[in-house]
A and B are shown apart, each in its own frame.
Chain A
Amino acid sequence: MIRSAVETAAAVRAGRLLAVDVVEQSLAAIAAGDGDLNAFNLVTADAARADARAIDEAVAAGRDPGPLAGVPIALKDNLCTRGIPTTCSSRILEGWLPPYDATVVTTLRAAGAISVGKTNLDEFAMGSSTENSAFGPTRNPHDHTRVPGGSSGGSAAAVGAGFVPLSLGSDTGGSIRQPASLCGVVGVKPSYGLVSRYGLVAFASSLDQIGPFAGSVADAALLLEVIAGHDPLDSTSIPDPVRPISTHLNDGVAGLRIGMVEEFMGDGIASDVRARVHAAAEALAAAGAEIGEASVPAAAYGLDAYYVIAPAEASSNLARYDAVRFGLRVDAATTPEMYDLTRTAGFGDEVKRRIMLGTYALSAGYYDAYYGTAQKVRSLIRRDFDLAYEKFDLLLSPASPTTAFAFGDKTSDPLTMYLNDVCTIPTNLAGHPAMSVPFGVGDDGLPIGVQLLGPMMSEPTMFRAAAVLEAGLEGSAGRAVAS
């Protein structure tokens, strides 16, 4: 079992532990286990060691090394890291070196965290299994024949396997929460605008958010507090101060009204998953929460609206991959031919599918029926959530309809894969925060996470309930270590 981020930072700050030793331990675990898992696209061992030495020097000199001092962290490979390849697991960005750091990367460095590498994902964050990566899939640490979930499969697996205590992923339709559930770790999608998107390679701009993976609720809180906050480089960034989370973690849930979302507990959800959600409700009730039945009727149309809006924005966001300024170039006699050859060779099938879908949904004659309609449906979904939040402080649901599935199980038909996100997509559409908390295992012994949802900026409340669930867990289910 690796040391938690909270313990590591405290020990390094106090001089009881050397950052170089912590990093070495992490790098050794990766070297031993990642050959099988393929969680990492790139391990930046030398840079990590150098960063660790700098932290130890700072501590020795009596300077404040930051709240995450010495904590190893893995970064999803769609986060820009200056001078370090950032590929989005796509051929079209293979070897691309960004000339700038994402805001969260700068923030993490200032906080003393030590990045050990870039993790694998579904290409351009489009997928729910990491099988769409151009560099091979990542395996689930609990069962190597199964997927870790997606699109942030690498980041989820890296924490689930105990390589690092913390990692960052991104969530557009569930890409943090679903893999967190499948890998047995904590995964958080913050309120839209709470964490800066500057330097996150865009998939769907109005839905994307960066968020933490961690082995514990307290670790997730620590990381989220570091990366949250207003960024003048992101126009959609919330200017309000971040409400403290860690200091209220153990405030409990007495008197909180928590509703189980009817629309997320239907026939599409496996019975063992539903059972764990009910168990979670009981655990929360035992801790003093009032449990009820909640309904978000328009959420039933979440998939429909999402699979119009997200591809539409993606089709525009991915137009810049044109071989002119960066990335892959397939040479041609003319620029138009260069565009075609490069994009055809550089993008995988799922990316192409979504680009075409999105282009169609925005095109003249179809805009009103598809994109225009979807944006209105989105308003309805948000309205129905807001109505639910008049009756409840938090909502409860599965994070994934099933436990981890086998490779190839859901790749024959796109729609089958899309259904993995039926519980998570509506929150992205609404902009609200949500998190997946490990809560036991399924009939197959594989991890199941339950999802807590809350209104805008309700992270402190959400984390209180998460802490109760974590404390109420029997046994050590959900925290696998690489074997």
Chain B
Amino acid sequence: MPERISAAEVASVARLARLTLTDAELETFTTQLGDILEHASQMAALDLSGVEPMGHPYGLVNVMRDDVVAAVVDRDEVLGSAPAAEAGMFRVPPVLGEQP
């Protein structure tokens, strides 16, 4: 099992998850996440050779739908709940950079 999670790694996943932590939070979360992950790493004791990851509990496969138009939502209702909208579109501040 991997080593205990470091503060740098916690800061890194916070960034990935778009969360900003204060120094105090970083310290607390690092301890807490470390404890949880350490507990979870007990799983390493099990013999998992030949074990497949679990699929659907009822074994469902091939669930598909017909290519038929179903009801859409009302644009005004949706935009009415949006933080900012203009010209029928959702408005956000400058994005910066191409999508990943």
Contact = CB atoms under 8 A, between A and B. Distances in A.
Interface in A431-483: 431-432, 456-457
Nearest to A305: B43
B92 A335 contact: yes
B58 A415 contact: no
Contacts of B87: none
Interface of A: 96-100, 191-193, 232, 235-236, 238-239, 298, 301, 303-305, 307-308, 315, 319, 322-329, 331-341, 343-344, 347, 352-353, 355-357, 359-360, 363, 366, 369-370, 372-380, 382, 413-415, 418, 429-432, 456-457
A193 B61 CA distance: 13
A324 B46 contact: no
Given A325-B90, A329-B84, A193 B18 contact: no
Contacts of A431: 56-58
Contact of A360 (B9, B42, B48, B95): B9
Interface SS of chain A: helix
Contact of A301 (B1, B43, B80, B83): B43
A120 B51 CA distance: 40
B52 interface: yes
Contact of A377 (B48, B78, B81, B95): B48
Of B35, B48, B58, B78, most A-chain CB atoms within 10 Å:
B58
Contacts of B69: none
B18 A322 contact: yes
Interface SS of chain B: loop
A338 B93 contact: yes
Given A192-B57, A325-B82, A376 B92 contact: no
Interface in B59-91: 60, 63, 65, 73-74, 77-78, 80-84, 90
Interface string B39-59: 111111010100111101110
Interface residues of B, number: 52
B39 A304 contact: yes
Nearest to A360: B13
25 contacts: A192-B56, A238-B60, A327-B83, A328-B83, A331-B93, A334-B95, A336-B95, A336-B96, A338-B92, A344-B21, A352-B19, A356-B13, A356-B14, A357-B36, A360-B5, A360-B37, A369-B41, A370-B40, A373-B43, A376-B54, A378-B53, A380-B48, A413-B32, A413-B35, A431-B56
Of A304, A372, A432, most B-chain CB atoms within 10 Å:
A304
Nearest to A369: B2
A126 to B, nearest CB: 13
Given A323-B83, A339-B18, A235 B1 contact: no
A328 B82 CA distance: 9
B36 A235 contact: no
A303 B41 CA distance: 11
Contacts of A325: 78, 82-83, 90
Contacts of A370: 37, 40
Given A301-B46, A326-B83, A340-B18, A414 B36 contact: yes
Contact of A376 (B51, B94, B95): B51
A265 B72 CA distance: 51
Contacts of A360: 5, 9-10, 13, 33, 37
Contact of A369 (B1, B92, B95): B1
Contacts of A457: 58
B40 A304 contact: yes
A430 B57 contact: yes
Contacts of B52: 376, 379
A303 B39 contact: yes
A93 to B, nearest CB: 10
